[in-house]
Amino acid sequence: MPVPLVVAVLLSAPLQELPPLSFLGFRAGMPMAGAIELIRTGGGALSCRSSSDSRIRECTGSLPTRRIARPLTVLISSVHDSAAVIVLSGAPSAELARGWIEDLTIDFGEPDHKVAPASQHTWQWVRRSRMLRVNARTAGDSLEASVTLTHGPLLDGLGAPKRKKPD
């Protein structure tokens, strides 16, 4: 039985490469040198230290933005000198947070959107074992928001931590 023309065209067309999930230039899995450069170029600072798991380095810092009064707080968990988890958090205006969601939706498509008690909203995009999640919640008169970028393969590659044997 011959393949219908529409199916044949779809099968022969090259797959469109979708852009990697990113926010403010950050993307999960990026080299730490690139993340550090983004932060320093933006006028921020980042310091790193070993974590309780010697395979992971924890980095904390801040990144000033023109549209938010206080700098964004930055947390990066590095595995093999790559940013496995990046968390940017702060207190944007409701208008700015809406703009983030609109821009991310234009760039990456419709997110999975969930509403939880206490006026908490979560928008999530997943692509090629990478995730971008925006959490926003009202805290009194202000909005708190965080953007998390996660690289699944880097984290999965760690496996279970090695346990110390008793002395």
Express each pLDDT in 86-119 by its tens digit. Answer: 999 999 999 999 999 999 999 999 999 999 887 8
The pair of structure tokens assigned to 159 is 């496996």
> What pLDDT is recorded for position 142?
85
Cα 60–Cα 65–Cα 71 angle in degrees, nearest 5: 40
* CATH architecture of residue range(s) 20-156: 3-Layer(aba) Sandwich (3.40)
Average pLDDT over residues 1-25: 65
Does the pLDDT at position 150 exceed 60? yes
Express each pLDDT in 49-64 by its tens digit. Answer: 998 888 899 999 999 9
Distance separating alpha carbons of residues 40 and 6, to the nearest angstrom = 50
State what percent of residues in the chain have pLDDT above 70: 85
> What pLDDT is recorded for position 22?
95
Does the pLDDT at position 121 exceed 90? yes
Domain ranges of the chain: 20-156
pTM exceeding the 0.85 threshold for the entire prediction: no
Backbone angles phi, psi at 34, to 5 degrees: -70, -40
